[in-house]
Amino acid sequence: MTSPTPSASLLVLLRLAREAAREIMSIYASDFAVRDKADLSPVTEADEKAERVILAGLREHFPDVPVVAEEQSAAGIIPVTAEDFFLVDPLDGTKEFLSRNGEFTVNIARIRDGRPAMGVVYAPATKALYWGEDGVAGHADFDLDDVAEKTAWKPCHVRPAPAAGLTVVASRSHRDAETDAFLSTVKVAKLISAGSSLKFCKVACGAADLYPRFGRTMEWDTAAGQAVLEAAGGKVVDTTGAPLRYGKRQRGFDNPGFIASA
C-alpha cells in the first residue's frame, strides 16, 4: 500500500505541532502550576508556551492568514476572519494533561470556506501523529526528533460498520445524559472512552465507528480532528444532519452538538 504524502503546507503544520509538543512535554515532566481562565476552565504554562510557538510559526509561513487560537481568544484577541483562516488548540484535553493519562493533543487546522481543509492532531505523550487533507489521511508513531517528511506514513481509512454493532468512542471527561440517550438508539457492541481530539482519530483510522458529542465544544477543539476524519472518508454533522461548519463568530466560535461517524 502506497504511503500517503502530506503537502508542503501540511508539513509546516506537522513541524509546528512537534515544536509545540516539546514545550508541552518539558512542562509535563515538571511540577507545574494550574490557573483558571475566566470561563473556569484550567490553563497551564504548557498551553501558553505551545500556543506562542505555533503562532510564531504560522506568522512566519502564512503571514496573510488570520489565526484564531484558544488562549488568545480567552484573552479577547480574535482577528477578523474570512474564508481562509487557522484554528489552533495548543493543548486539547487540559484535564487529561492534569491527570497525566497521556490523552492530550496539539491541534492545528486550516479552514477554507467554512470547512476544515487540512488538519494535524499530535498526541505528544504517546507520539501518535495524525493528519488529513484533500481526501488523504495518514498517521505515524515517532519520536520528536524524527523529520516529518521522511516518515513512512500509514494511511488512515474509516471502516465499514460491523454487523455485530458499533464501537462508539465517548468523551472521558465530558460524558453527559444526552449522549447516553443517543446511545440507547444505536446498536453498540463496544463503548470506549478517550480524551481530546483523539476520538476523531480513532474513527478515522478504523478503531471506532461513531463519536457523538452534545456538550459544548469550541471550533478549535474539533477542526483538526474533523479534517483527519473527513479526509479518511468519514463525516461530521450537527444534530440537524448538516455538515459541521466553521467561522461561527456570531456564536463565539462554539459548536452545536455533533455526530462524527465512519
Cβ contact 107:225 at 8 Å: yes
Number of structural domains the chain divides into: 2
pLDDT of residue 53: 97
pLDDT of residue 123: 95
pLDDT of residue 151: 72
What CATH number corresponds to the domain at position 183?
A: 3.40.190.80
Per-chain mean pLDDT for the chain: 90
- Give residue 214's pLDDT band: very low, low, confident or very high (50, 70, 90): very high
CA distance 49 to 21: 10
Burial class of residue 168, CB neighbours in 10 A (0-12, 13-18, 19+): buried
pLDDT of residue 40: 45
Using the predicted structure, report yes or no on whether residue 129 has a pLDDT greater than 60: yes
**Is 56 within a domain?**
yes
Short-list 51, 54, 93, CA closest to 74: 51
Last residue of a domain, one of 155, 177, 202: 155
Using the predicted structure, report yes or no on whether residue 157 has a pLDDT greater than 70: yes
- 31 or 211: which leads in pLDDT: 211
Domain interval for residue 204: 166-261
Short-list 157, 167, 248, 158, CA closest to 212: 167
Same domain, yes or no: 208 and 236: yes
What CATH number corresponds to the domain at position 77?
A: 3.30.540.10
Using the predicted structure, report yes or no on whether residue 174 has a pLDDT greater than 70: no
Q: How far is CA 41 from the centre of its chain?
A: 18
Q: Which residues pair with 123 in a beta bridge?
A: 128
Same domain, yes or no: 124 and 244: no
pLDDT of residue 78: 94
Of the ranges 33-47, 150-164, 222-236, which one carries the lowest mean pLDDT score? 33-47
CA distance 119 to 9: 10
Using the predicted structure, report yes or no on whether residue 149 has a pLDDT greater than 80: no
Cβ contact 97:104 at 8 Å: yes
Using the predicted structure, report yes or no on whether residue 39 has a pLDDT greater than 60: no
Cβ contact 10:133 at 8 Å: yes
Tell me the C-alpha to C-alpha distance, in Å, between residue 229 and each of 96, 158, 246. Answer: 22, 8, 15
**Is 57 within a domain?**
yes
Last residue of a domain, one of 103, 132, 155: 155
Cβ contact 39:84 at 8 Å: no
